[in-house]
Amino acid sequence: MAAKYLSAANAAALDKDLMSLGAFSLDQLMELAGLSVSQVVYKVHPPSKGRRILVACGPGNNGGDGLVAARHLWHYGYKPTIYYPKQGKNELYQRLSTQLHNLSIPFTDDFSEALKESDHIVDAIFGIPPLPSLPSLSPFPLSLPSLPS
């Protein structure tokens, strides 16, 4: 089965409809998105292909999706490590981080070293455009060039 993708405009419209017409909360959508990411990782890169996963998270909703995905991946038997240098400030992101800490999932500040020790990477840094302005990207420009092309 081929993967299906939404354009940024369609994804934004779907989020809007789900939150208004569907009455889904941000927490619910984030849980569904993170679960979906974890299921795709399991299908494409099963644990037999390597269990060490670096989950790079940004401060917004996409980063929250990554935190949720990491929790599910841990339950599937993977060994996630979280790179989350610019953490989201609201209570939702703090709760997600607490859940990971309670599972003893490690957080790292050293992207390059964590990348060397990983079999796979989940990019949860930025979500649907528009991307933030360059000054607000810090510290991510330091880590992005480290990714293999």
What pLDDT, in 10s, does the model give residues 109-143?
999 999 999 999 999 988 766 555 544 555 554 55
pLDDT tens profile 7-36? 778 877 878 888 888 888 989 999 999 999
DSSP structure class, residue 68: H
pLDDT, position 100: 98
C-beta of residue 29 within 8 angstroms of C-beta of residue 18: yes
Higher confidence at residue 144 or residue 78? 78
Spatial distance between the Cα atoms of 110 and 13, rounded to a whole number of angstroms: 36
101 — pLDDT class (breaks 50, 70, 90):
very high
Q: Provide the CATH topology of domain 49-149.
A: Rossmann fold (3.40.50)
The residue assigned the tokens 């644990």 is: 47
pLDDT tens profile 38-84? 999 999 999 999 999 999 999 989 999 999 999 999 999 999 999 99
